[in-house]
Chains A and B, each alone.
Chain A
Amino acid sequence: MKIKKLPKKLLFQNAEILDPIKKTNKKGNILLVNGKIAELGIFESPSDVKSIDCNGLTLTHGFCDLHVHFREPGNEDKETLESGSRAALAGGFTRVCTMPNTNPPIDSPESVSYIIEKSKDCPIYIHPIGAVTKGQKGIEISEMGLMNEMGAVAFSDDGLPIQNGLVMRKALEYSTMLGVPIINHAEDDSLRCDGVMNEGIISTRLGLPGNPNIAESTMVYRDLKLAEMTGARLHVPHVSTATSVDHIKHIKHMNNNNNNITAEVTPHHLFFNDESLVNYDTNLKVAPPIRNDISRKAMVKGILEGVIDCIATDHAPHTLHDKETTFDLASFGMIGLESCFGIVKRVLVDNEGLSLINLVKLLTTAPRKIMGFNCDLLKVGTEAELVLFNPNEKWIFDNKNVFSKSINSPFYGQKLVGKIKYTISKGYISDLS
């Protein structure tokens, strides 16, 4: 992948311009001048301008991922803001929100400032999510007001659940004056216990301690009811159980879909079921765990019906030595930025018949709307934040497609249809063609 600064003028010719807001997919050109969209649609191509022939390519908004772990500060051996940006560009992402479970955690306006400053040099837009509680200890709420002022777009203790109901309640109440969502990693610690994979027939056969569905669904329910009571905004991360989806559907319906409640699902929870774990592949060790096929189907149904609002990767890089151990000791998490588009296209478009436009919405306008980011990216005058992909190109995902510092992915060898070619963001263009 080559990342270069955008030339002063750049023309994309003959692309299928997919507009998820207008819901159109029409052939056309886009002219970028000084990094902004100067012209858009059918127009005569100027001759003196550098151009890229986009025949067969779809051009649309750059993707946005609400849930990534970039490990900086503290674990720069796994990933940095810079390497994470490269992984994002390789996956077609131009904008991400980073989780605060770094070392030290992002729980003060000073640490939020650190991320904001450092990301200025990165080729994608990075928005820090601040910790809900000081040190992510789940006891005292953190300086959410000051952090929000410094640029934190939401608050989460992700990695860890906010186990104490009163703390969750007070955090939700406090957040109402800021208008930003609280994102709780919903897994009841006591019920989850030392579970390392989904509790079911597979965990029984493998002899591994199981993490039951109910550890997630009871806490999701608690969080939804507290959000309803306090009028706060709640975003449910990495939903994995059918019951959680039912709860979300019910609460959304009871509150007239007022947009205070939103939810996301990962590509791996749409793609895998726990039968894939029979070989103890530690790259499939994630939190919440990969569940059985009934749950997987419920996730697919949930996102097709709109109960789940968007896709988010939960990109979680780990070093080889964190993953190359016995299953019980391995760290939780997999990288996901580079494989995301190909995987979700396969599950939702190729297998379930979802339209390409609707898939693109799940990766672009839906997540942006949740965070209040500008959604209308195919407008003349806007900064170019775009991706070009070939929806028909067949390829096999392997580690030469990985630009993260870490390589912990279970997707190697998967045959995918649909490949990212160019990603344009913050005055840069990354070339994967």
Chain B
Amino acid sequence: MNSKDISQKLIRISHEIIENHTDIGNVVILGIHNRGVPIADRINELIFNITNINLPIGSLDITFHRDDFRERLSMPEIRGTDIQFSLDDKVVILVDDVLYSGRTIRAALDEINSFGRPSIVRLAVLIDRGHRELPIRADFVGKNIPTHSGEHVEVHLEETDGDEGVFLVKENN
């Protein structure tokens, strides 16, 4: 996928989100660090362009809620959670770049609990590459890219990597 493709997918996702929520005023967007955050920003802007409504937006760093923290040999870099509003009774749209095992989303759901009790939580991802290890699914998907073991999906965004594109990469073991 190239930059134009990414744009198109995000536009479609934004429309879908608006379509699915008649009371768009009750919706908040949370991007998951790292790349979920710029994607969430873009979706927020696209929704504003269509509806003229600026939805509340925040970011989630799921490091402290990971379930694999004691198995890792190195510390992941912490970017910090920033949510300036209560989530009580809100419709939360979680946004991430790639959905894979589902563990990141599980950690995000766990962390969201610390901030209140949303009425609904939905998930929007740019890419779904399959291979779920937990019963988690996305509500809004940019593109499905099935992968085999030994293959890996890389998303590059202007904000985080300098270039734009989605790449299927074969790992050398």
Indicate yes or no for A touching B, C-beta below 8 A: no
